[in-house]
Amino acid sequence: MTANVIVTVEREFDVPRPQVFRAWTVPAELAQWRGSPGWHVEPSGLVGEPKPGGRHHHVTVRESDGLAVTTDGVYTEFFEPDVFVSRERITGDPGIDPAVPLELRVEFTEMGRHDTLVRIIQGPYEPDVAGWHGEAWEKELNRLADFLGTAGQEARR
């Protein structure tokens, strides 16, 4: 098979764009929400160099069996707080060939006074695994919404 499917997922958050962008690009914040339910980001070894050519790295671990999935990426574009693009190699995920890099593009669009539309575009995926990777992004965005709600409450205190 040929990896030729691009996954696109969108979600609108009632949170200012700079705050949403930080949740994606500041390692300590990213570690609090990335991963589907039943997964967590290992706090050790997080790397985030938010600039073109900057490296980012994180490991998500499935709690039920310890399966570790490692993401190593380099930002090819970085325009805070509008968009970043990363070329990534993902190892440990049985549905992704670690020899084939993926491109991740995340756009942050201001909607009204305080809302932010997040658009995730990632691929190429093999056709038989693209659907469940899209579902995984949906679950992660639910966790991001929870994190941003909590982070927003703390910021208002």
Q: Kind and range of the H or E element at 151?
A: helix 127-156
pLDDT, residue 45, reads 86
From CA 132, how far away is CA 92, in angstroms rounded? 16
pLDDT tens per residue, range 45-74: 899 999 999 999 999 999 999 999 999 999
pLDDT, residue 39, reads 95
Whether residue 136 is predicted with pLDDT greater than 50 in this model: the reply is yes
More confident residue, 65 or 154: 65
SS3 label, residue 86:
strand
Whether residue 155 is predicted with pLDDT greater than 60 in this model: the reply is no
CATH number (domain holding residue 75): 3.30.530.20
**Count of domains observed in the chain:** 1
Residue numbers of the domain that contains 62: 5-156
SS3 label, residue 15:
coil
pLDDT, residue 1, reads 55
Whether residue 157 is predicted with pLDDT greater than 90 in this model: the reply is no
Backbone dihedral region for residue 55 (phi beyond 0: left; psi -120 to 50: alpha; all else: beta): beta
Q: Which of 7, 6, 10, 8 is nearest to 109 (CA)?
A: 10
Whether residue 104 is predicted with pLDDT greater than 50 in this model: the reply is yes
Name the CA radius of gyration of the chain, rounded. Answer: 15
Give the total residue count for the chain.
Answer: 157
This prediction has a pTM of 0.92
